[in-house]
Amino acid sequence: MTLTANPISQSIRVTLVEDNYNLRIELTHQLMHLGYEVKSVENAKQLNTLRRNWLSSIYILDINLPGENGFSIANRLAKNKQHGIIMLTARTSVLDKIYGLEHGADIYLTKPIDWRELNACIKSIHRRLMPLSTIPVWVLDIKSHILMSPDNRLLHLTKLDTKIMTTLLEKQGEVVTREKFIELLEFESLEKSEYRLNTITCRLRQKLTDFDKDFTIHTYRGTGYALLGPDISCKG
């Protein structure tokens, strides 16, 4: 049976995390043939980098990955209810299925996969997500460096502000270490990095709280920072 692209697929972004090169290329090709917008990576580190600039509706995750495994990634991604997670793995035990579903996966599929089943699962999750897309949300436009409120107020950010925001949004509500920010911002002098980081985050915190009192960047002394407030979706 030949599958053809569906117009509905055109608006669905899919990210595939699969460390097997041949399977990753094949899956990416097939999903693109079905009409989805697809990005593929081989591990959690690459996924985190990708998500700074490109967020998906659906994440398809292998379990046995180098570094952070698929269970851990799913558990982290599931904190944002505006996207869906499909486990696609060779691990077939009932305990693995239960663990995956209890730790973030919407659907647990095993390899080899029938394309009709995978396509149907993506569409099913997308239908669940559609009502959420009608709810007013905060949006961070990464390209234009603008944070837009549900009532269409705009906060213009600097390029550095946007970098910090996207990094905080990867783990919204959780602590991002100071070392992570120093590495991300590529300060020329390590001696001045602590001072510059404090200055930049203080200014951004003030911008956010002036814009909306529900937002703040909380400092965990000697550890790092966490973004507290309403959920924000990224685009661009």
Kindly state whether residues 107 and 174 are assigned to the same domain.
Answer: no
124 and 145 housed in the same domain: no
| Contact assessment for residue 78 and residue 125, using Cβ atoms and an 8 Å cutoff | no
Do the domain assignments include residue 189?
yes
- Looking at 92, 113, 133, the residue that finishes a domain is 133
Sheet containing 37-41: order of strands:
37-41, 13-17, 58-61, 84-89, 107-110
Residue 220 has a pLDDT of: 85
User: Which pLDDT score is estimated for 136?
Assistant: 54
pLDDT of residue 100: 94
Within a domain: 154 = yes
- Domain contains 2: no
- The answer to whether residue 52 sits within a structural domain is yes
- Examine the domain organization and report whether 170 and 191 are in the same domain: yes
Q: Is 96 contained in some domain?
A: yes
Does residue 129 sit in the same domain as residue 189?
no
Write down the pLDDT at residue 5.
44
* pLDDT < 50: residue spans in the chain: 1-10, 132-133
Amino acid residing at 67: G
Q: By the 8 A CB rule, do 118 and 136 touch?
A: no
Domain boundary among 133, 162, 185: 133
Per-residue pLDDT, 68:
95
The answer to whether residues 153 and 215 belong to one domain is yes
Domain that holds residue 127: 7-133
Q: Which of 133, 151, 168 is the last residue of a domain?
A: 133
CATH number at residue 34: 3.40.50.2300
Q: What is residue 114's predicted lDDT score, i.e. its pLDDT?
A: 85
- Same domain for 117 and 144, yes or no, is no
Structural domain includes residue 146: yes
Same domain assignment for residues 95 and 161: no
Q: What is the pLDDT of residue 1?
A: 37
pTM over 0.85: no
Residue 1 located in a structural domain: no
Asked if residue 11 and residue 117 are part of one domain, the reply reads: yes
173 in the same domain as 86: no
How many residues are listed for the chain in this entry?
Answer: 236
Read off the CATH number of the domain in which 228 is found. Answer: 1.10.10.10
Predicted local distance difference test score (pLDDT) of residue 4: 45
Contact 24, 42 (CB under 8 A): yes
Do 96 and 150 have their domain in common? no
Cβ contact 111:16 at 8 Å:
no
DSSP of 152-209, one letter per residue? --EEE--HHHHHHHHHHHHTTTS-EEHHHHHHHHT-S-HHHHHHHHHHHHHHHHHHHH
Number of folded domains in the chain? 2
Q: Say whether both 86 and 149 belong to one domain.
A: no
109 and 154 co-located in one domain: no
Which pLDDT score, from 0 to 100, does residue 138 have?
A: 87
- Give the whole-angstrom CA distance, residue 99 versus residue 97: 5
Q: Is residue 91, in this structure, part of any structural domain at all?
A: yes
Give the helix/strand (H/E) hosting 122.
Answer: helix 115-133
* pLDDT for 95: 96
In angstroms, rounded to a whole number, what is the distance separating the alpha carbons of residues 105 and 70?
Answer: 10
β-strands 58-61, 13-17 pairing:
parallel
